[in-house]
Amino acid sequence: MDCIEVRRLTPELVETHRKQAYVALNGEGCDLKSMRKSCFAVETCGHGGKGIELEKLLGSNAFVAVDEVDPARPTFVGCICAKITPSYIKTLFPHDKQPNGLMVFTFCVAEEYREKHIGKRLMEEMFKLSERSAIPLYLCVAIAPQNGDPDCRHEYEYRVPRLFKTYGKMNFLHVCDCDLYSLFFWKGR
């Protein structure tokens, strides 16, 4: 029985899932295991960031997936977040390719829930939002680390082709690249 629910992110869900979400999003360090297991450790480690915190997604178009097989102890499964494309993102890409619409910034499914179509369910919320609002939908993929760490470079070599394939299956078109990112546009259904 499927007990996984996708819901709009609320302060109550942040409070309940803060710790689980942080580990799923950022891992527990910059070791290879964390970079392979988490959604963004390789980016955080490769770009010198602080990591993604669930509460920072509040106030945007954010949704979480929660496993409620045990309602007394719900489990964080994944999340997705999108915002209207900020100007600094536009400056990364050539003038004629600049995204202007809704940009997916955070998209994560906890390792133990991958390959179970949870990501598709989360992304479906963005598809519906894009369609209802008649706003184009984009996403960026980090394609290279800023630092020269060999472990980060190795993980990017594994991660990037997998993400390109996944987003292609979701009907995203690869538009262009800049030094560190690739831009994708959702072609619709």
Q: Give pTM, 2 decimals.
A: 0.89
Q: What is the pLDDT of residue 135?
A: 94
Tokens representing 181 are 């990112």
What does the alpha-carbon distance between residue 44 and residue 117 come to, in Å, rounded to a whole number? 25
Distance of CA 45 to the CA centre of its chain: 16
- Which fold, 4-186? Aminopeptidase (3.40.630)
| Phi, psi of 134, rounded to the nearest 5 degrees | 55, 40
| Domain coordinates in residue numbering, the chain | 4-186
Q: What is the pLDDT of residue 133?
A: 93
Q: What is the pLDDT of residue 73?
A: 87
Q: What is the pLDDT of residue 148?
A: 76
